[in-house]
Amino acid sequence: MFGYALRRVLTAIPIVLITITVCFFILRLAPGGPFDGERALPPDVMKNLRAHYNLDQPLLTQYLIYLGGVLRGDFGPSMVMEDFSVSRLISIGLPFTLMLGFSAFVVGTIGGMLAGAVAAVNQNKWPDYLLVAIVLVGIIIPNFLMANLVQLFFGVYLHWLPVGGYHPGSLIHLVLPIFILALPHGGRVARLVRGSMIEVLGTNYVRTARSKGLGTRLILARHALKPALLPVVSYLGPGLSYLLTGSLVVEQVFALPGIGKYFITAALNRDYGLVLGTTILYVFIILALNLIVDVLYAWLDPKVRYR
C-alpha cells in the first residue's frame, strides 16, 4: 500500500515538470504580450520593462531562473498588477478557492452518494424518477447559466440570499456559490452511485452475504458500499477538474475573491506571469488530489495494488 502510494508520487513529478516547461515556453513564444497596449510604449521604457522581467535574457536562462523560483515557492512578478508578486496574489486567493471548492466537493459528493443510494434502493419508484430529472437538469444546464438563474431567482426576485460578494465569516454569501458548484458534481456522483449500487445489489456476492443471514444494514455497509463506491472514486479525479472549471465561473458571477478571478483577469490582460503561476498551481493541486483519489481507490479495490 505504501509502496503503491510512493510509486504514484514518483510518476506525478515528471508530469508537473513537463507542464511547467510546456506552459512556460508556449506563453513565452506566444505573439503579443502584456506591454502591447493600445499605444506603443517608448523604446526605452520597453527596454527597461523587459530587463526588469528578465525578458531580455536568452529563453533558456529565463526558464531556469523561473524554475528555480518555482522550487522556492516564488512564481515571479505579475506583469500587469504592479507591486504584486504572483505568490502574493496566490496566497490571497488560494485559501478562499480551496475552501469553496472543498465545501462544494464535500456537499456534492455526500449529497450525490445519498441521493444515488436512495434512488437505487427505490429503483423505478418516484424518488428514483425525481432524482433522474434533477440530475439531468443539473448536468445539462451549463454552470454559468445556472449561476445566473439562481442569482436571479434567489437574490433578485425573492431576496432570500445575497446576489454576490463575500466578507470573511459570512456563510450566507457562500450558499449559492457552493450550491452551483455542488449541483453538477453531486448529480454525476448520484448517477454513478445509483448505477453501481443497483449492479452491486444484484451480484452473486451480495446474494452470498444475504444467504449468511447478515441483515440488511450490515450487507449494505460492509458488502455493498465499498464496491459500489469504486466508480465514484474513479470519477472524483475528473470531478475535481469540473469543480475547478466551475470555480472559475462561480468566482466571476458571484464576485468572489479567489484565484479563479485572478486567472481570468490575467488571461484577459495577457499577464503571462500570473497565468503561468496560477496554471502551475492548478495543475499541482489537481495532480495532488488525483493522487489521493488513486490511493483511495487502491484501498477500496485490493486488485489495483498489484498492478
Partner 1 sequence: MAGITGKDAALTAYADALAAQAPKGRSLTQDALRRLFNNKAALLSIFVLTAIVLFAYIGPYLLPWAYDKIDWAGIRKPPDWAKGHYFGTDQNGRDMLARTLQGTQMSLLVAAVATGVSVVIGIIYGAIAGYFGGRIDAVMMRFVDIMYALPYILFVIILVVIFGRSPVLLFVGIGCLEWLTMARIVRGQTLSIKQREFIEAAKAGGARPFTIIFRHIVPNLTGPVVIYATLTIPEIIITESFLSYLGLGVQEPQTSLGTLISFGAPVAEALPWMLYTPAAILVTMLLCFSYLGDGLRDALDPKDR
Partner 2 sequence: MTDVLVVDDLDVTFALHDSEVKAVSDLDFSLAQGETLAVVGESGSGKSQAFLSIMGLLARNGKASGRAMMGDVNLIGLPPNELDRYRGKDIAMIFQDPMTSLNPTLKVKTQLAEVLVRHQGYDNEKANRAVVEMLERVGIPEPVKRANAYPHELSGGMRQRVMIAMALLCRPKILIADEPTTALDVTVQAQMLDLFKTLTHDFGTAMVLITHDLGVVAGIADRMMVMYGGRCVEKGPTDTLFYDPRHPYTLGLLHSTPHVAKRARRLDPIQGLPPSLEHLPRGCAFHPRCAFRFERCFEERPPLLPVEAVREKACWYQGELKYGEVA
* Closer of 181 and 219 to partner 1 (Cβ): 181
Per CB under 8 A, which region of 7-15, 19-27, 74-82, 201-209 contacts partner 2?
A: 201-209
Q: Least distance in Å: CB of 274 to partner 1?
A: 10
Which of partner 1, partner 2, none has residue 158 at its interface (CB below 5 to 8 Å by kind)? Answer: none
Q: Using the rule CB under 8 A, is 218 a contact of partner 2?
A: yes
Q: Least distance in Å: CB of 290 to partner 1?
A: 6
Phi, psi dihedral angles at 69 (to 5 degrees)? -60, -45
Q: Which grid coordinates belong to 215?
A: 441483515
Q: Which of 57, 210, 257, 286 touches partner 2 by CB under 8 A?
A: 210
Q: How many residues bind partner 2 (CB under 8 A)?
A: 23
Helix ranges (DSSP H) in 41-156: 43-52, 59-71, 86-121, 126-140, 143-150
Q: Least distance in Å: CB of 168 to partner 1?
A: 26
Q: Which grid coordinates belong to 30?
A: 506566444
CB 239 within 8 Å of CB 185: yes
DSSP notation for 199-256: HHHTSHHHHHHHHTT--HHHIIIIIIHHHHHHHHHHHHHHHHHHHHHHHHHHHHHTT-
Q: What is the rounded distance in angstroms from the CA atom of residue 303 to the CA atom of residue 305?
A: 6
Which of partner 1, partner 2, none has residue 290 at its interface (CB below 5 to 8 Å by kind)? Answer: partner 1
Question: Cell numbers 488513486 correspond to what residue?
Answer: 294
Q: Which grid coordinates belong to 70?
A: 518555482
Per CB under 8 A, which region of 24-32, 174-182, 189-197, 296-304 contacts partner 2?
A: 296-304
Q: Using the rule CB under 8 A, is 127 a contact of partner 2?
A: no
Binding site for partner 2 (CB under 8 A): 203-216, 218, 222-223, 226-227, 300-303
